[in-house]
Homo-oligomer: A and B are copies of this chain.
Amino acid sequence: MLFMKLEETVSALISPDEALFEALRREFHAVSLPRNELVFSLGNVARHIFYIEKGLARMFYYNETGKDITYEFFPENNFMAPSESFLEQKPSQYSIELLEDSELRLVSLDGLNRLLEEFPVVEKIKSHILAHFLYQANRRIVALQFQNAQQRYETLEQVKGNILQRAPLGHIASYLGITQETLSRIRGRK
């Protein structure tokens, strides 16, 4: 049987344990969904955490002027979730959309709680995921605080190079905090 991507990721965080993997397989349900599918939409309370085994997703929100802003990209082998909504069980301002045909695994809050009860070590996985999200956010802040558009583009290129080829211009531009015209010009002058 094929080794799940999720298992690989979890193995990197804690020492492997077959009973836990079996529970993970039980609680993380696999779904294949097509490009453009909205897997979570704003106004709802997040009921699942997603692990993306294949494909690409983005999380976005609408700012005060109604403009669609990409908050984050999630390529394969990443956990993703509207974290505050899921953890605090309150409505989210974010939506999640697939940019490619994708294979996801999703666990419900109940499923996660069953896992936590049965395997307390899952709390460590949760901490690791949160910590990972936090580091990522920290780097974004540093970039947005005092780098210019070109530098932020280069940073993104280094950190998530293939996103640049896989996501449309407008989404990348809003992620970087610039307009698509400016992004197009940055690309032009290299």
Contact = CB atoms under 8 A, between A and B. Distances in A.
B177 A138 contact: no
A144 B142 CA distance: 10
Contacts of A123: 120, 123-124, 127
Interface string A36-65: 000000000000000000000000010100
Contact of A144 (B83, B135, B144): B144
Interface in A57-97: 61, 63, 67, 69, 71, 83-84, 87
A130 interface: yes
A5 interface: no
A70 B70 CA distance: 25
A140 B141 contact: yes
A11 to B, nearest CB: 18
Copies in the complex: 2
B146 A63 contact: yes
A177 B133 contact: no
A120 B71 CA distance: 34
Interface in A91-138: 120, 123-124, 126-127, 130-131, 133-135, 137-138
A83 B135 CA distance: 8
Contacts of A67: 146
Contacts of A177: 144-146
Contacts of A134: 83-84, 130, 133-134, 137
19 contacts: A63-B146, A71-B141, A83-B131, A83-B134, A84-B134, A123-B123, A123-B127, A127-B130, A130-B130, A130-B134, A137-B137, A137-B138, A137-B141, A140-B141, A141-B144, A144-B145, A144-B177, A145-B174, A146-B174
